[in-house]
Amino acid sequence: MSEYHVSYHAVNSYEHQVTGAFFRFIIVPADNEFQKLIKMKLRSNVPVTWWISERVKDGKELYVRANKPFTEFILDLETRIIINQVNPFNRPILPREIQWKTLETTEWKVENAYFLQAGHPKDRSYIPPEWMDKFPAPNTQQGMLDHLITLREFLFSKIKFCPESTDVHTKAIETYQLKAGVCQDFAHLYSAIARRQGIPTRYVCGYLCQGKNYKGAGQLHAWVECHVPGSGWIGIDPSNNLMADNHHIKIAHGVDYGDCAPIKGVILNGGDHTSEHTVFVHQAQSAQQ
């Protein structure tokens, strides 16, 4: 078990006075079998009304309404989370023939449909079907987890992690052409490929404990979870070429960034604006089991 202290700090500055604002933040760590949210504190420079709304499956949304006009909105969220040791290699594993065969069944496709869809060319996690021969193909001689690692290593070797090379609208197609991107681009591209290979994959947003020179630390992070028959959803961090472990604090998942955008708002007036956030994750204590 590890206990983490996460600080999220956001500054939104507006050209003109904002006379009404309603925000949705997806920044509160999830409560699930692997992690427990034990404390939460919210502060802002403007008086607000706020509440937490549960997502139907895994995750929380923080809604905030400003009760006074402002030109700058600062929000601080402090949370404490306990994470159980996660070892993806300790999960039950089905024989590989069964793993790959399961993907072909109607029941599996129906159960996982939302995370299997190849999507539309305008989607962030879409790649054209004719590109599939560029990537390591599923090999039934290999277990599915091994295949997912091969894919992860392949992407890590092809795509360079470059801060500010892309933005939140960048699509998987562009990432592949640029051969560069940040964590959400790796996650989108990885999802696009795995889904086309029939492996249900969801986009995950969360925090990453600093240190160890992880990419995506100090910011919100993104990785993926792949559904392996018999093993469950396995967290894979393509931009760090790692399995997600107890340094990964999950906030929520969705089909792509659009489902997990950290901040969305309806703003009255305000004009142009800039939005910045910083994240600090600190490991409070560690009790190895």
Please measure the distance between the N-terminal and C-terminal CA atoms of the chain and give it in whole angstroms.
Answer: 7
CB 265 → another protein: shortest distance, Å?
A: 8
The answer to whether residue 264 forms part of the interface with another protein (CB under 8 A) is: yes
- Of the two residues 55 and 158, which places its CB atom closer to another protein in the complex? 55
Question: What is the nearest approach in angstroms of another protein to the Cβ of residue 67?
Answer: 11
Give the three-state DSSP class for 245.
coil
Q: Does 117 bind another protein (CB under 8 A)?
A: yes
From the list 81-89, 109-117, 209-217, 271-279, the region that binds another protein by CB under 8 A is 109-117
Considering only 38, 98, 113, 132, the residue that binds another protein (CB under 8 A) is 113
Question: Both tokens of residue 245?
Answer: 């472990």
* Binds another protein by CB under 8 A, chosen from 33, 89, 90, 106: 106
| 132 within 8 A of 175, measured Cβ to Cβ | no
- 247 vs 253 by CB, closer to another protein: 253
Site for another protein in 52-91 (CB under 8 A): 53-54, 56-57, 61, 63, 65
Q: What is the DSSP code string of 84-116?
A: ----GGGS----HHHHHHHTTSHHHHHHTGGGT
Q: Do 147 and 126 touch, CB atoms closer than 8 A?
A: no
- With respect to another protein, which residue has the nearer C-beta, 171 or 247? 171
Given candidates 15, 111, 146, 153, which one binds another protein under the rule CB under 8 A? 111
Beta strands in the chain (DSSP E): 2-25, 35-44, 48-54, 60-66, 70-83, 160-161, 180-181, 201-208, 221-228, 232-237, 242-243, 248-254, 263-269, 273-286
Nearer to another protein, 57 or 212 (CB): 57
Closest CA to 127 of 184, 188, 198: 188
Residue that is written with structure tokens 């929000």 in the block: 75
**Reduced to 3 states, what is the DSSP secondary structure of residue 64?**
strand
Stretch that binds another protein, among 51-59, 164-172, 201-209, 228-236 (CB under 8 A): 51-59
Those residues with Cβ within 8 angstroms of residue 157's Cβ, 6 or more apart along the chain or in another chain: none
Minimum Å gap between C-beta 249 and another protein is: 22
At 79, list the tokens: 């949370």
> Which residue's entry shows tokens 């054209």?
128
3-state secondary structure of 6: strand
- Looking at the Cβ atoms of 119 and 206, the one nearer to another protein is 119
Which positions from 9 to 38 touch another protein by CB under 8 A, shown as an x/- string?
-------------x-x--------------
Two structure tokens written together for 106: 């109607």
Q: Does 266 engage in binding with another protein (CB under 8 A)?
A: yes
Q: Which span (45-53, 80-88, 92-100, 155-163) binds another protein, by CB under 8 A? A: 45-53
Nearer to another protein, 212 or 264 (CB): 264
- Under the rule (CB under 8 A), what is the footprint of another protein? 22, 24, 49, 51, 53-54, 56-57, 61, 63, 65, 106-107, 109-111, 113-114, 117, 255, 264, 266
